Structure 1
Amino acid sequence: MLYQIFKAIKEQLSVINDLKDIQWFNNQYDTTIHTHPVAFIEFPEEFAPQQISNDLDEGSLAIRIHVVSKVISRIDNDIPDIAVQQNEDIAMAVKDNLNGFTPTYNGNQLSTRLKLSGWQHYHKYSGWMVTFVSFTTNIRK
């Protein structure tokens, strides 16, 4: 079920020329990130639908996009402003392309429109600038 939503989001983000790749998130930070800037699509929370009628379930789905750029610090460990701006520009393009987007597969609507629910810079990974752009949507099945 989530793979179809992943594919719809990946296709929607493919118009962002500055992204070199779009991947399913599988904690790539613990391995080698081969290309950048890259977007990782994550479903960070359990999808737990509730039965609303005998034949209809509904639930909220959280989606997090990791916008990841390699950042080379200067000799004095300062991060160049241009690196920050480039990552921010890509994250804004992700937000603009997905906020209000309705995922479909083979012409069938998979969920309601995506709604922006969060924006966070994540500072854990040295050498990488990571911005989380989060969305929520509802699924009825």
Structure 2
Amino acid sequence: MPDHLIRLRGPWELRFSADSPSDARHATRIGLPADAIPEDPLPITLSRRFGRPIRVSRTQPCRLRCASVPGLLAIRLNGDPLFERPPEAALATDPIELAIPGALRDRNLIEFTVLGLAARLASPNTPWGSVVLVFPETDESPSC
């Protein structure tokens, strides 16, 4: 059976570092995937709240699939580190798929820390930031 996919498109909140020289230091909203993300010399944070799907069992495993996310430094889920890499490794453009440890909460917060110059790393033909929750189909999962 195919996996059940939930795309985390938007709205995402984009925040600049408090030390940013950017004129737009305030938070702004952005949809993902995006044609472009703002540039800044310091890392930026993209965050999005989402709920656990009602039709998905509380015990069902889940993965996070991210594609076209050059400049990605770290991912936090509900305040806990899920993924980290040094800035020199953040230039990679390979897709990332991570198992989410434990069960999702009823309400969740995912946060991406991204190089502020990530926009320069993106391909002009590919929108930045495809983020998907993947729930493998099981015998107890309802079909959608």
Which TM-score bucket, shorter chain as reference? under 0.3
- Larger Rg belongs to: 1
RCO comparison, higher one (Cα < 8 Å, 6+)? 2
TM-score, normalised with respect to structure 1? 0.25
